[in-house]
Each structure stands twice: as structure tokens, then as C-alpha cells.
Amino acid sequence: EPEVTQTPSHQVTQMGQEVILRCVPISNHLYFYWYRQILGQKVEFLVSFYNNEISEKSEIFDDQFSVERPDGSNFTLKIRSTKLEDSAMYFCASSAGQVQETQYFGPGTRLLVL
């Protein structure tokens, strides 16, 4: 069964460093998403991406964040200058369509900013 994959599974970084989280969505899906879950809190939407551009983003997704689909398979989330409060589990998801379609999630990347 096709699945969303994410790398790395864990990342530790120093405050102020740049990190890139990678995702490979399900191959025939067109819509891509990033969510995060701070320990003990809700899963929160960050951004959605379609047709090589951001279609929606949350208040959390400020100028420190960016997304890219550099080739036909990868979807990346970059945090330019990490802060302590960026420590969280980051989930990538993809869906085949847009309106109320099921989103399929990857296993997540646990980011720890020291």
C-alpha cells in the first residue's frame, strides 16, 4: 500500500540553525501539507501546497518557514533559523484531491532545538 515517508525520523539542532525536513508524498497525490505537534498539544496545521505554490498557511507559518517541491517526488519544509519553540513532531501529509479529501500522514520527524 502506498505511504507517505519522511526523513529524518529525528533531528537535533542548535537554536539559530537551519533545518530541512523531507517528505515523499504518495505518488499520484497532488496536495501536500505540513502539520506539527508540540509535545502534549494538538496537531496544528502549518501549510498546504498545490501546483507548486502555497494554497493556505496558518499564523504559525511565518517568514522563518518555507516549503518547496524541488523535484517530482520530494516535498520539503525549511526552518531558516530555528527557535526553542520549534521543537515538535512535524508531520507531512498528502491527498489526491482538495475538497474534504482524506489526508494520509507520514510517520513524522521529531525536531529538537537546543
Query: Where on the chain is the footprint of other proteins (CB under 8 A)?
Result: 4, 6, 31, 33, 35, 41-45, 48, 55-56, 58, 91, 93, 98-100, 102-108
CB of 73 to other proteins, least distance (A): 18
**What are the respective helix, strand and coil percentages of the chain, to the nearest 5?**
5, 50, 45
In three-state secondary structure terms, 11 is strand
CB of 16 to other proteins, least distance (A): 28
Closer to other proteins by Cβ: residue 14 or 99: 99
CB of 19 to other proteins, least distance (A): 19
Closer to other proteins by Cβ: residue 19 or 90: 90
CA separation for the pair 20, 24 (Å, rounded): 13
Q: How many residues does the chain have?
A: 114
CA separation for the pair 33, 38 (Å, rounded): 17
Closer to other proteins by Cβ: residue 17 or 55: 55
Give burial (CB, 10 Å; 0-12/13-18/19+) of 37: middle
Closer to other proteins by Cβ: residue 87 or 106: 106
